[in-house]
A and B are shown apart, each in its own frame.
Chain A
Amino acid sequence: MFDDFLVRAMLAGVGVGLAAAPLGCFVIWRRMAYFGDSIAQAAVLGIALSLSLSSPLFIGVLVVCLLMSMAVSGLSGRGFTMDTLLGVMAHGSLAVGLVVVSFLSGVRINLMSYLFGDILAVGKTDLVVIWGGTCIVLGLMVWRWSGLLLSTLNPDLALASGFKPKREQLILSLALAVVVAVAIKVVGVLLITAMLIVPAATARPFSFTPETMAIVAACLAVFCALSGLQVSYLLDTPTGPTIVCLSVLLFILTTLVHRLIFNGLKQSNINHSNKGG
């Protein structure tokens, strides 16, 4: 069944969604959206390097993303804020990457497929890489869940409970780098942050604990990946952007519905207490 490109595309989308959405919850809670965006941009340099060294794409991207996230974590607080450092390094590596690509002789590289992903071209090796990355990220999250969550809530509380917030931060950065590296093939550099953030944001109003938010986000991401694939097949639209479009649509709809229900409840409470009093 892995011979069918649609089956491979579905599995790839599900894999990326499963890893990205729970991680995206932490990205939202810790306000790291720009961090995710920057790592994704830095991936262009990774693409350029692996093309020029003709090494596997995944390795080049992973190495650059890891270096970038460690450099930013290490340098922040030493005269520059994280924001500034990210801006400098992300756009720096994006620009260097684009220049490097222009030097590459031979085949003209279609950068578009890296910027927006090409899920229909996912091969069997890509699938192994994607699911390998998904397992690593989910494994890290389950293993470090308490520490990650407590350090996100408050670093001092984490310290008092015997966790090391700095290490948890590093683990998150590593997981982000892995997600970016495996998601490039599926949604591309420009839309990775959407895969992280949109399902998590959609899950927020319906969740009462962090765990439910992560699980709901993962389910939404899988649903959007599968239905996005279907829609793009029917309408002949680019798949990665279609998946993101659907996620955003779902976000808007659920937010509106939630607002309506919530306000409705409030209104009826007010009416009720007016009648009662």
Chain B
Amino acid sequence: MLIECDKLSVHYGKRKVLSDISLSIKPREIVTILGPNGSGKTTLFKTFIGAVQPSTGQLKKKPGLKIGYVPQQLYIDETLPITVKRFMNLPGGHSKQALADALNHAGVPSLSTQQIMNLSGGQFQRVLLARALLGKPDLLLLDEATQGLDHRGSADFYRQIDSVSQTLGCAVLMISHELHVVMRKTDRVICLNGHICCQGKPESVSGSPEYQALFGLGEESEAALYLHRSHHSYSHSDNTPDV
């Protein structure tokens, strides 16, 4: 077990953000946490990286567990000059070879001297991935890492994650707010809304009544959105996300 939480609850002041969360991640497992805005997904991540303390319950980590964190698409002010390699080596302590290897694994071997602000969204996301890979993590945490990328970009990015997790043998835990963009190789989907509503294989989750209650759209929202439904989508053999 890489990480395991048992009846974990988190409060912000008096407000309960997470209650009774019990879950565990095994080595090499790919797990997606799915939840609407404000469901506590990011709080759960922050608890995992130690930035938020649980108010009750337990969080057990494998001794010496190394976590690589890939944040949401981030904005870097134009006034801040920084090269890819300086950004990656912050807070520092990595060798040139380690930096080159990480960039290679993330699929962007030639970017190291580029200015961050000249990168495209997809390139920057890969640089963030490379930075997370630097510490040779056992567990990669991805916080809506494909937000801001188009479908094709997301698909490419997930493909990269898949190859990284296979070559480096790390587990992947990612956050998403739509089932359409859940990575195909996901072993397990966990629906979160303050507590764990349901979990299981992607195809079983999408049919479950808890999922429908959480994400199902009423008639009003159906009228406002165009949704392309492809019910057979899980039977594809490639690893693109469902669109």
Chain A interface (Cβ < 8 Å from any Cβ of B) = 28-31, 146-147, 149-150, 152-154, 156-157, 159-163, 201, 204, 207-213
CA of A150 to CA of B87 in the docked complex: distance in angstroms? 9
4 additional A-B pairs beyond A28-B77, A210-B80, beta carbons within 8 Å, are A146-B92, A150-B91, A204-B81, A208-B115
Grouping DSSP codes into helix (H, G, I), strand (E, B) and loop, the A interface class, with mixed when no group exceeds half, is helix
Do A153 and B76 have beta carbons less than 8 Å apart?
yes
Do B79 and A28 have beta carbons less than 8 Å apart?
yes
Provided the pairs A153-B80, A210-B81 are in contact, do residues A159 and B91 lie with their beta carbons within 8 angstroms? no
- Give the Cβ gap from A128 to chain B, nearest Cβ, in Å: 34
Do A210 and B91 have beta carbons less than 8 Å apart?
no
Judged by a CB distance under 8 angstroms, whether B49 is at the interface is yes
Q: Which residues of A contact B1 (CB under 8 A)?
A: none
A29: which of B51, B79, B143 is its contact (CB, 8 Å)?
A: B79
CA of A28 to CA of B76 in the docked complex: distance in angstroms? 12
Q: Which residues of A contact B71 (CB under 8 A)?
A: 154, 156-157, 160
Question: Can you name 16 A-B residue pairings with CB atoms under 8 Å?
Answer: A29-B77, A29-B79, A146-B91, A147-B91, A150-B90, A150-B91, A153-B76, A156-B71, A156-B72, A157-B71, A159-B49, A160-B141, A207-B81, A209-B81, A209-B83, A213-B81
Provided the pairs A29-B77, A31-B77 are in contact, do residues A159 and B90 lie with their beta carbons within 8 angstroms? no
List the 10 closest A-B pairs by CB distance, nearest first. A160-B69, A146-B91, A159-B51, A29-B80, A207-B81, A156-B71, A154-B74, A160-B49, A209-B86, A28-B79
Do A146 and B67 have beta carbons less than 8 Å apart?
no
Do A153 and B74 have beta carbons less than 8 Å apart?
yes
For A28, the closest partner residue in chain B by CB is: B79
Most chain B CB atoms below 10 A, which of A30, A160, A201, A204 = A160
Number of A-B residue pairs at CB separation under 8 A: 63
Residues of B66-105 whose CB lies within 8 A of A:
67, 69, 71-72, 74, 76-77, 79-83, 86-87, 90-92
CA of A56 to CA of B12 in the docked complex: distance in angstroms? 43
Do B81 and A160 have beta carbons less than 8 Å apart?
no
B67: which of A29, A160, A209, A213 is its contact (CB, 8 Å)?
A: A160
Judged by a CB distance under 8 angstroms, whether B46 is at the interface is yes
Q: Which residues of A contact B69 (CB under 8 A)?
A: 156-157, 160
CA of A210 to CA of B51 in the docked complex: distance in angstroms? 26
Do B87 and A153 have beta carbons less than 8 Å apart?
yes
Provided the pairs A208-B115, A209-B86 are in contact, do residues A152 and B80 lie with their beta carbons within 8 angstroms? yes
Do B51 and A204 have beta carbons less than 8 Å apart?
no
Most chain A CB atoms below 10 A, which of B81, B83, B115 = B81
- Give the Cβ gap from A56 to chain B, nearest Cβ, in Å: 36
CA of A146 to CA of B91 in the docked complex: distance in angstroms? 5
CA of A30 to CA of B79 in the docked complex: distance in angstroms? 9
Interface string of B40-77 (1 = CB under 8 A from A): 00000010011100000000000000010101101011
Q: Which residues of B contact A211 (CB under 8 A)?
A: 86
- Give the Cβ gap from B237 to chain A, nearest Cβ, in Å: 35
Q: Which residues of A contact B79 (CB under 8 A)?
A: 28-29, 201, 204
- Give the Cβ gap from B59 to chain A, nearest Cβ, in Å: 16
Do A210 and B143 have beta carbons less than 8 Å apart?
no
Most chain B CB atoms below 10 A, which of A163, A209, A213 = A209
Q: Which residues of B contact A31 (CB under 8 A)?
A: 77
B46: which of A29, A159, A161, A163 is its contact (CB, 8 Å)?
A: A159
CA of A30 to CA of B49 in the docked complex: distance in angstroms? 25
Provided the pairs A159-B51, A204-B81 are in contact, do residues A146 and B90 lie with their beta carbons within 8 angstroms? yes
Q: Which residues of B contact A154 (CB under 8 A)?
A: 71, 74
For B113, the closest partner residue in chain A by CB is: A208
